């Protein structure tokens, strides 16, 4: 059984998708938020999952918050830490502490459009495809080994909101699968690349329909 700790800042829709996937041999050990009133906390509590809050505003700097966050997480003895809408840039020390067992999903087809406002940037750039990427977290923002990706077409009348809604549907499919692959042991880091040894392809690529 693998222990999973999920970090959220809001409603945690990807957290909910992972919990609802009921992944074999996976235990959601805790859901931790940096925002006291994060809506996802109430949802997790209703599911009987342990929850905790560590308000980043109560710490004088990022390093101090990250140190205390790591201490809180480690109390649950995690095999994997999952960022699910956790709106904090994590320090290099935190990322290195969980190297190879810290996972995130980003709403673009990395390496394109790192950071914020990804859907606006995709539309403005005239992209025909947009999507999301599950990746391991490293100190460099949105630059860790790519685990899986999913894409949707960018429609002529798309706004950032309509595009985001379609991409989110893909997120809810590939993120639980990535966690399941980690838990099963089929997901490996080889020469800084994520390889799924249970499939012939190294990065699952799904095409969502508009």
Catalytic residue numbers read 106
C-beta separation of 72 from 54 below 8 A: yes
Q: Which two tokens stand for residue 90?
A: 């994590």
Measured CA to CA, the distance from residue 33 to residue 52 in angstroms comes to 6
**Beta-carbon neighbour count of residue 42 at 10 Å?**
11
Q: Which two tokens stand for residue 121?
A: 């940037």
Distance of alpha carbon 102 from its chain centroid, rounded? 9
Measured CA to CA, the distance from residue 56 to residue 34 in angstroms comes to 6
Q: Is the dihedral of CA 33, 49, 204, 187 positive or negative?
A: positive
Measured CA to CA, the distance from residue 177 to residue 189 in angstroms comes to 16
**Beta-carbon neighbour count of residue 192 at 10 Å?**
9
- What are the φ/ψ torsions at residue 145 (nearest 5 degrees)? -55, 130
C-beta separation of 4 from 29 below 8 A: yes
**Beta-carbon neighbour count of residue 114 at 10 Å?**
15
């Amino acid at each position: 059984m693998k222990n999973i700790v999920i970090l959220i800042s809001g409603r945690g829709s990807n957290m909910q998708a992972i919990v609802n996937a009921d992944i074999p041999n996976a235990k959601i050990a805790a859901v931790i938020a940096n925002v006291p009133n994060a809506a996802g906390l109430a949802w997790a509590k209703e599911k009987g999952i342990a929850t905790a809050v560590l308000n980043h505003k109560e710490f004088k700097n990022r390093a101090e918050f990250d140190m205390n966050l790591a201490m809180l997480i480690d109390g649950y003895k995690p095999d994997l830490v999952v960022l699910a809408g956790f709106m904090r840039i994590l320090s290099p020390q935190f990322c290195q502490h969980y190297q190879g067992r810290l996972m995130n999903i980003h709403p673009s087809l990395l390496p394109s459009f790192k950071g914020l406002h990804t859907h606006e940037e995709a539309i403005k750039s005239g992209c025909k495809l947009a999507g999301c990427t599950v990746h391991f977290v490293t100190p460099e923002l949105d630059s860790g080994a790519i685990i899986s990706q999913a894409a949707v077409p960018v429609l002529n009348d798309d706004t950032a909101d309509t595009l985001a809604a379609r991409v989110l549907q893909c997120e809810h499919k590939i993120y639980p699968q990535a966690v399941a692959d980690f838990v099963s042991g089929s997901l490996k880091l080889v020469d800084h690349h994520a390889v799924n040894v249970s499939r012939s392809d190294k990065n699952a690529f799904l095409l969502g329909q508009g």
